[in-house]
Amino acid sequence: MDLNGAKILVTGGSLGIGKATAKVLVDSGASVAITGRDTARLEKAAKETGSFPITADVAKPDNVDRTYERFLAEFDGLDCLINNAGIGIFKTIDDTTYSDFEDVFTVNVYGAALMATRAAAIFKKQNRGNIVNIGSTAAEKGFERGTIYAASKFALRGMTQCWQAELRRHNVRVFLIDPSEVATAFANPDRTEQKAAANKLTSFEIAHAIKSVLEMDDRGMIPELAVWATNPW
């Protein structure tokens, strides 16, 4: 895929991996829109990355519809969807509630699926396209207090494999990027960015991985890619 001139939609682009990805892709010549729920934070990120802001919540179907309306009106086409929006709740199993599952799955699973549903329809019609799902190494192995979050990422991994099977014949590539622990604002109630230690992953390592898989010639694809810190100890 040639990123120069590509039209790319990134969910959860106000902070962290989404914001870094928007910056890297814009610097590569792509036209990028980012979504987020906080308008002020989103517009700040858009100015810093050179992207187009769309205030929206992927967990709300009407917001998903509005996102595509705004994006297509601005860019007149779509080449790539990056499903990055995600939240996490980390509790022991005996403290876990139904609403905890509902909150996380609505964003991490249902939101990603709603966004992909619209993208897939566009891509099948034009017989080309790309979907990047931002998973987690938690989709490969569960961990203590990870019941809800890991389950949502296992679900996303399963959906990715289904979409790969369905969409390959339409020349649509579906990638799963699995970051290990990354210093972002993720899970911080006040949404402040964490500062990474020198030996830990930052959002830009993940953005680099996304850029790399997309830049492969369209005849090939990398179904799943995990990104780990070389020596986090």
Which residues participate in catalysis according to the annotation? 149
Structure-token pair, residue 76:
């007149």
Q: Determine how many CB atoms are found less than 10 A away from the CB of residue 33.
A: 22
Residue 15 C-alpha from the chain's centroid: 12
Dist CA 9 CA 40 (whole Å)? 19
Dist CA 41 CA 125 (whole Å)? 34
Residue type, 163: W
Dist CA 188 CA 190 (whole Å)? 6
Contact 54, 33 (CB under 8 A): yes
Contact 185, 192 (CB under 8 A): yes
Dist CA 107 CA 113 (whole Å)? 9
Residue type, 68: Y
